[in-house]
Amino acid sequence: MKSRPLLSAVIATAMLALSLPGALPAVAAPAPDNWQKVLEEANGQTVYWNAWGGDARTNRYIAWVAEQMQADFGVEVEHVKLDDTSSAVARVLGEKQAGNDDEGSIDLIWINGENFAAMREQDLLFGPFADTLPHFALTDPDNNPEVVTDFTLPTDGYESPWGKAQITFYYDSAQVDAPPQSIDALLEWAKQNPGQFSYPRIPDFTGSTFLKQALIELSDQDDALYQPVEDSDFAEITAPLWAYLDELHPHLWRSGRSFPDSGPNLRTLMSDGELSLAFSFYPTDAAVAVMEYELPESVRSYVLEDGTLGNVHFVAIPYNSPHKAGAMALANFLLSPEAQARKQSLDMWGDRSVLAISQLDDSDQALFEQGEQHPSALPVDALSNTLAEPHPSWMTALQDAWLERYVVN
Amino acid sequence: MLRYVPILMIALLVIPVTAGLGMVLLPAFGYLPVLGGEQLSLAPWQALFSQPGLWRSVAFSFTSGLASTALALLIVVLFLAASQGTWLDRSLRRLVSPLLAIPHAAVAFGFAFLIAPSGLMARLISPWPSGWQSPPDALIVNDPWGLALTFGLVLKEAPFLLLMSLAALPQLQADKRLQLARSLGYAPTIAWLKVILPSLYPLIRLPVYAVIAYATSVVDMALILGPRLPSTLSVSILGWFNDPDITRRFMASAAAVLQLGVTLAALIGWWLLEQLICRCSRHWLTNGSRRRGAATLTVAGRGSLALTSLSALAALVGLALFSVAGFWRFPEFLPQSLVLDHWQRSAAMLAAPLVTTGVIALVATGLATLLVVAALENEQRQHLHPRRALWLLYLPLLVPQIAFLFGLVVAAEQIGVRPQLSLVIAGHALFVLPYVYLSLGESYRRLDPRWLQIAQSLGVSRNRAFWKVRLPLLLAPLLTAVAVGLAVSIGQYLPTQLLGAGRVTTVTTEAVALASGGNRRLIGVWALVQAGLPLIGFIIALTLPRWLGAPQRGSAR
């Protein structure tokens, strides 16, 4: 048996050596300063848009976008549904590894946070392009730094903002009278209601966000969290977090011996009656779930008193995309008042707009006026208190430390 | 021409697997220039061995793989020993192929909902007589011992092993042997175990090994049912390959090589077990005891397969209920209202993936069947003994998918083959072909050679005899093999996703993508569609030969 892997290693090495390409010129990128030219080039292109496909509403919205792009710009949009965004990062890397520098399989990625940081670090993104999109100015970046910052990293035009998310708690008002209003209160609540709350297993995105939320509330080291983790004493800053979790876990769902898989999984457990308090990264999640029979109508949403973590999510173009013009036209359309208003409506998706709505002209503002507020949704003014994301290195460090502590050896 | 087919077939199966393995082996030892890995090192292994819970992951993969295979085999053997042609036995046999057709992920979803604390079984006894107003806080699915995963695997493996056994049995002339044994006073069940089993096992050994390899490295079922802190090795590997921290790929590659080792260790462990049982049972086989334990074995044999089939069916019923459920909360046994919203909303999204799924499955299975038939026909004409080269055919089934697919994508890129539909089809054929061969081989060799001798003695050419005599006589097993091939193709997730760059959307990739969203109602819709598709193939395989009046031969009985 030994000889076969060895043989194949030899074959593979030979293949590697043979295929080393000469330095290929980067694919002719569209000149972003001439928007008309970009649109002309985009016409007729097919844009492969890699975006998480786990939510039917997101998928429906992207399908609507695809129709608009076809009708208005002659761009065909194919939604490549991912179960995990990082697999798209891995794919671009694989292509770079194989010397595929201009025929990549991905034209646009829905991305943010550590995935973006990783792609930037490995030089896998095309740009800067975002600031040249005609609609980008509608986000009023000078006054809204969150649309040009991703987990403390400047986007430098390598990502174009798409929507906003923020941790939002929800509970069944028929079962719970006074839901906890802070991370400390949550511990007390869990002790009184054992097995009724949980958070997704690390390294899930939503679960990791919960760790950061708790860390921000439990430590007074706010400044340190916004610098690379190497610059501060990780053990000391996170000590209160681990003490808190050690105390919390025995009172969680399944006594903390297992954790749900993902944010949406919390919703399913809530729907089964296994949890009575949960949270989501999408403020409208609970209302939407009620409309789709997943949660009882008595569900209500709220954010913690001192605010919750929020962030902006983006779209980015891989460096080897063969359809950059189409991808830029799509990114620009996603920022149009029409597309943003559609996305924000509960019937479509319920994802918050990144546009500076008060700066828009009247007719565009009117697009965002929603009808009656859904009783399970968060009141509009509840999201004013948003905490910023720590530096991405904290997320990775927290994940590793959590796994080290709580995975059974 | 025909004589080159076996070589072609083996090359088609062996080259991709070894190329893929090679492309994983290099980074496992630190060589991946694009990430700055310029020279060989053991750093990836050091990183791997410092992962929390690694050895537990390895232990899960090893034990759940061996335990589920042993249990499934035991169920199948006892059932065959105990089944003596009653009504129940015949219905169970008929149920087997459809159960085989249901994709693993769909079974896992349904099974999870069946046994969860808030699932169907708990609802059946709640609130009365259990007194549960809300679900008990019990760790059943994702349990730390991997039991849910083990039983979930049994649900899928038992039908496969039964089908393989039923295909192999006729060549043992079981009826004659049993009659002889019974005339010597052996109880039917005991007679089967002592007289048939020792000659049957060697015939189904390869399928058993394929099952072990599959069970030790399964991804989709382990994602749904497996333990969490830590996960099985295969699930951890997927996570590391997909980690945004791209340098983890070195460690992931090392882990993929480790997975190969775990699967190999499980196979060796099983082989040792075989030797042990063989040694220990020698006395029992020849001690002349004719009746002891017969009644217990009979009940156990029928009961366990019935229970397995019932669990799988109940899992499907749960999925079906969810696909039309309005609000449905514990402890209600049925949904408050039934709605068609979920189906209506999915309908528009279903069309394109359905077409793609069908095209891939048909082309891959067609190609595979063509090659298999050509190889088998060559074997017959050259009077070859099939055993040795067979092991190579099983390479794609014995080497864990997760160990070579990531490397295969890189290897394909390397020679300039971009992810696309045809690459996905080729990837599917890699897994479909061995299964088609497994399903068809025995029936093909068993066909009485006198049929063809008579035809040729009447002046019919060999080729004409093949078309006019052999194929019609083999129609039923051929269609069954095709149906198995279609089912295998439709269930493939990892190859579709990786080789298609996610652009090739099938019902299965959609179902798994939706699964990450956790909406049970939509999962129900897609899982049912996913389960229904291969069923069509099996229904055609069962009814078409009868309708055409073809002889009832082989495994499709």
Interchain contact A268–B (C-beta under 8 A): yes
- Averaged pLDDT for residues B182-196: 87
What confidence tier does A23 reach under pLDDT thresholds 50, 70, 90? very low
Q: Give me the residues of B, 93-122, that contact A with CB < 8 A.
A: 116-118
- Averaged pLDDT for residues A307-326: 95
- Which pLDDT score, from 0 to 100, does residue B556 have? 36
- Which pLDDT score, from 0 to 100, does residue A119 have? 93
* Chain-centre distance for alpha carbon A281: 9
Interchain contact B518–A (C-beta under 8 A): yes
Report which DSSP code applies to B37: B
- Which pLDDT score, from 0 to 100, does residue B516 have? 67
- B372-418: per-residue pLDDT in tens? 999 888 888 887 776 666 778 888 988 999 889 988 988 887 788 87
**Full-model pTM:** 0.86
Interchain contact B142–A (C-beta under 8 A): yes
For the ranges A233-242, B1-10, B214-223, the lowest mean pLDDT is seen at B1-10
CA distance B26 to A383: 49
- Which pLDDT score, from 0 to 100, does residue A30 have? 66
Whole-Å CA distances, A283 to A166, A204, A277, B112: 6, 18, 15, 29
CA distance B262 to B255: 10
Q: Between chains, do B339 and A262 touch, taking CB under 8 Å as contact? A: no
Asked if residue B167 lies in contact with residue B556, where contact means CB atoms within 8 angstroms, the answer is: no
- Averaged pLDDT for residues B315-320: 90
Among B243, B268, B406, B417, which would you mutate to test the A interface (most chain A Cβ atoms within 10 Å of its Cβ)? Answer: B243
Find, in chain B, the residue whose alpha carbon is nearest to that of A48: B503
CA dihedral A29, A31, A32, A37 (to 10 degrees): -110
Q: Which residues of A touch B109 (CB under 8 A)?
A: none
Q: Which residues of B touch A105 (CB under 8 A)?
A: 418-419, 501-503
Interchain contact A374–B (C-beta under 8 A): no
CA distance B63 to B465: 49
CA distance A98 to A100: 6
Strand spans (E) along B411-467: none
- Which pLDDT score, from 0 to 100, does residue B96 have? 75
Query: Which pairing describes strands A46-52 and A108-111: parallel, antiparallel, or unpaired?
Result: parallel
CA distance A348 to A287: 12
Q: Closest Cα of chain B to A7: distance in Å?
A: 8
Take residue B20 and report the two structure tokens written for it.
């893929």
- B344-357: per-residue pLDDT in tens? 888 888 888 999 99
Find, in chain B, the residue whose alpha carbon is nearest to that of A93: B246
Asked if residue B479 lies in contact with residue B76, where contact means CB atoms within 8 angstroms, the answer is: no
Q: Between chains, do A272 and B330 touch, taking CB under 8 Å as contact? A: yes
- Which pLDDT score, from 0 to 100, does residue B537 have? 85
- Which pLDDT score, from 0 to 100, does residue A273 have? 86
- Which pLDDT score, from 0 to 100, does residue A17 have? 36
CA distance A403 to B303: 42
Main-chain dihedrals φ then ψ at residue A386, nearest 5 degrees: -110, 130
- Averaged pLDDT for residues B32-61: 88
- A97-115: per-residue pLDDT in tens? 778 899 899 999 999 998 9
Q: Does residue A15 surpass a pLDDT of 50?
A: no
Interchain contact A174–B (C-beta under 8 A): no
Q: Closest Cα of chain A to B334: distance in Å?
A: 13
Q: Which of A251, A135, A160, A125 is nearest to A197 (CA)?
A: A251
Asked if residue A328 lies in contact with residue A317, where contact means CB atoms within 8 angstroms, the answer is: yes
Interchain contact B496–A (C-beta under 8 A): no
Q: Does residue A9 surpass a pLDDT of 50?
A: no
Interchain contact A94–B (C-beta under 8 A): yes
- B362-375: per-residue pLDDT in tens? 999 999 999 999 98
- Which pLDDT score, from 0 to 100, does residue A32 have? 61
- Which pLDDT score, from 0 to 100, does residue B357 have? 95
Q: Does residue A26 surpass a pLDDT of 70?
A: no
- A238-278: per-residue pLDDT in tens? 999 999 999 999 999 999 999 998 888 899 889 888 899 99
- A44-85: per-residue pLDDT in tens? 999 999 998 877 788 889 999 999 999 999 999 999 988 778
CA distance A185 to A201: 21
- Taking all residues of chain B, what is their mean pLDDT, rounded to a whole number? 86
CB atoms within 10 A of CB A40: 14
CA distance A164 to A166: 7
For the ranges A213-227, B170-184, B361-375, the lowest mean pLDDT is seen at B170-184
Q: Which residues of A touch B413 (CB under 8 A)?
A: 94-95, 97-100
Specify the higher pLDDT residue, B131 or A230: A230
- Which pLDDT score, from 0 to 100, does residue B166 have? 83
Q: Give me the residues of A, 29-88, that contact B with CB < 8 A.
A: 48, 50, 52-56, 59-60, 63, 78, 80-88
Specify the higher pLDDT residue, B129 or A199: A199
Interchain contact A251–B (C-beta under 8 A): no
> Which among A15, A259, A271 is the nearest to B414, CB-wise?
A15
Percent of residues, chain A, with pLDDT higher than 90: 63
The interface pTM score, or ipTM, of the predicted complex is 0.81
CB atoms within 10 A of CB A123: 8
Q: Between chains, do B137 and A95 touch, taking CB under 8 Å as contact? A: no
- B66-107: per-residue pLDDT in tens? 999 999 999 999 999 988 767 777 777 777 777 777 888 888
- Which pLDDT score, from 0 to 100, does residue B428 have? 95
Find, in chain B, the residue whose alpha carbon is nearest to that of A253: B137
CA distance B316 to B32: 45
CA dihedral A388, A316, B522, B351 (to 10 degrees): 170
Specify the higher pLDDT residue, A42 or B203: A42
